[in-house]
């Protein structure tokens, strides 16, 4: 695979037009021996010391399935706590591997690939040389050859991590230019190993030293500080949301109380307005009221609601009734919105009509002499009329 690059940073590093970083000929692992602590290889019996040697042959490293398993796999910053998969790819991936192949020339004995780093943080760390070595994340099978020694087979890649120092050593790293061939005698390698052990640098097998652990601790502290900051920010947002919710609830409670009070006030005012609009007149009809109503409106039902008003309206529709009523209204049509006025008009008009009827019968002061078969009889027509009305419209007992 070829990348279109416009900026050349070095012989091995280029920038694409988008600003992605291309690192060519990156050795991600190698043939040979790697050293592990017993705790890292629980299934392999230890030998005479606390180091377990794991060997990888060309057949294992350059197997067709092994090479294919690394193609297109993600690049990460340090090794994640779990393998990369669809559920965490977006969170962990900072780039991808391309053109995975068997190394030649200076890269003989190494599995080589080209990096396409797409994350700005990772690009910065590589350019500042903070992360230049690489470490493969993979699954493999281990076959014990003898105590303290095993062979690694069936290597299947999951990701490649950018790390400060890798187990495979500085040979598996991102270079600015083609690496120089290193040739050391056995004694020189031994002395270099001792020197690195004492000055805190890793040896070629990638075993971590005090400085390496310090670097990891510093990195973890930074990650913790970042996590603490995020947690604090999240708590601040949560506290504000809680306060806003309480404010809304308080305002809602106040609004509901105001609504309830308004509802009560509305019911009270509505009842008062209804009472004011209700036509005046008695609603409890006693015998005297019914008798007077009968004078004004003969045949009116004793249980008529607002009987005074109904009787007056009926009487006003007649000539005699109108004349009697207008005596009390000044010659105008009566109104029925004042209970006291209605009561006066009702009683006065009933008395006037009763008197007129008595006079028409020739009774003078309300009495008349009526001839009967037995002789003469004096009758008070008003009393008889009222009694007759009371008998015709009896008031039920409560």
How many helices (H) does the chain have, and how many strands (E)?
11, 12
pLDDT at residue 210 in the model:
61
Report pLDDT digits (tens) over 370-380. 444 555 544 44
Better-scored residue on pLDDT, 263 or 196 = 263
Question: Average pLDDT in the 317-342 region?
Answer: 87
What SS3 class is residue 57?
coil
Q: Look at 78-87, 116-125, 269-278 and tell me which has the smallest mean pLDDT.
A: 269-278
- The half-sphere exposure of 206 on its side-chain side, counting CA atoms within 13 A, is 23
Q: Give backbone dihedrals phi and psi of 387, rounded to 5 degrees, phi first.
A: -65, -40
Better-scored residue on pLDDT, 358 or 115 = 115
Can you say whether residue 298 is alpha, beta or left, with left for phi > 0 and alpha for psi between -120 and 50 degrees?
beta
pLDDT at residue 114 in the model:
94
Examine the pLDDT at 273 and tell me if it is beyond 70. yes
Question: Average pLDDT in the 256-268 region?
Answer: 89
Residues 224 and 45: their CA atoms lie apart, in Å, by 37
CA angle 165, 167, 173 (to 5 degrees): 55
Instruction: Please enumerate in sequence order all residues whose Cβ is within 8 A of that of 228, keeping only pairs 6 or more positions apart, or say none.
Output: none
Residues 382 and 364: their CA atoms lie apart, in Å, by 12
Record the pTM. 0.44
Residue matched to tokens 């109104």: 335
For the ranges 9-18, 216-225, 249-258, the maximum mean pLDDT occurs at: 249-258
> What is residue 98's DSSP assignment?
E
Instruction: Please enumerate in sequence order all residues whose Cβ is within 8 A of that of 7, keeping only pairs 6 or more positions apart, or say none.
Output: 14, 15
Question: Average pLDDT in the 295-323 region?
Answer: 90
Question: Average pLDDT in the 239-268 region?
Answer: 88
Q: Give backbone dihedrals phi and psi of 271, rounded to 5 degrees, phi first.
A: -65, -40
| Residue 57 contacts residue 150 (beta carbons within 8 Å) | no
Residues 317 and 135: their CA atoms lie apart, in Å, by 114
Closest CA to 290 of 397, 224, 385, 151: 385
User: Beta-carbon neighbour count of residue 34 at 10 Å?
Assistant: 19
Examine the pLDDT at 204 and tell me if it is beyond 80. no
Instruction: Please enumerate in sequence order all residues whose Cβ is within 8 A of that of 242, keeping only pairs 6 or more positions apart, or say none.
Output: none
Separation of CA 205 from chain center: 53
């Amino acid at each position: 695979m070829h990348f279109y690059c416009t900026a050349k940073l070095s012989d091995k590093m280029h920038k694409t037009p988008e600003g992605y970083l291309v690192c060519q000929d990156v050795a991600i692992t190698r043939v040979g021996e790697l050293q592990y602590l017993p705790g890292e290889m629980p299934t392999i019996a230890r030998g005479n010391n606390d180091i377990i040697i794991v060997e990888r042959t060309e057949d294992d490293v350059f197997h067709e399935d092994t090479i294919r398993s690394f193609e297109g796999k993600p690049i990460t910053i340090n090794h994640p706590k779990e393998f990369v998969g669809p559920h965490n790819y977006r969170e962990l991936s900072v780039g991808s591997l391309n053109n995975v192949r068997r190394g030649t020339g200076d890269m003989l004995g190494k599995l080589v690939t080209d990096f396409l780093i797409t994350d700005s943080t990772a690009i910065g760390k590589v350019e500042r040389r903070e992360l230049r070595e690489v470490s493969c994340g993979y699954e493999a099978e281990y076959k014990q050859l003898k105590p303290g020694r095993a062979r690694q087979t069936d290597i299947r890649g999951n990701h490649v991590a950018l790390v400060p120092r890798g187990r495979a050593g500085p040979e598996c790293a991102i270079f600015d230019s083609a690496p120089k061939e290193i040739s050391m005698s056995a004694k020189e390698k031994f002395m270099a190993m001792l020197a690195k052990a004492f000055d805190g640098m890793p040896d070629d097998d990638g075993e971590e030293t005090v400085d390496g652990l310090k670097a990891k601790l510093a990195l973890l502290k930074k990650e913790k500080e970042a996590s603490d900051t995020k947690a604090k920010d999240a708590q601040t947002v949560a506290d504000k949301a809680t306060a806003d919710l309480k404010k809304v609830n308080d305002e809602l409670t106040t609004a509901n109380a105001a609504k309830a009070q308004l509802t009560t006030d509305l019911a009270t005012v509505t009842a008062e307005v209804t009472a004011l609009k209700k036509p005046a007149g008695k609603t409890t009809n006693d015998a005297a009221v019914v008798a007077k109503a009968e004078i004004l409106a003969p045949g009116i039902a004793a249980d008529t609601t607002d009987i005074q008003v109904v009787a007056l309206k009926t009487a006003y529709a007649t000539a005699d009734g109108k004349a009697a009523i207008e005596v009390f209204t000044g010659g105008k049509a009566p109104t029925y919105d004042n209970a006291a006025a209605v009561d006066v008009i009702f009683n006065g008009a009933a008395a006037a009509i009763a008197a007129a009827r008595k006079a028409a019968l020739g009774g003078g002061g309300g009495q008349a002499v009526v001839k009967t078969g037995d002789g003469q009889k004096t009758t008070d027509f008003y009393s008889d009329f009222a009694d007759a009305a009371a008998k015709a419209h009896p008031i039920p007992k409560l």
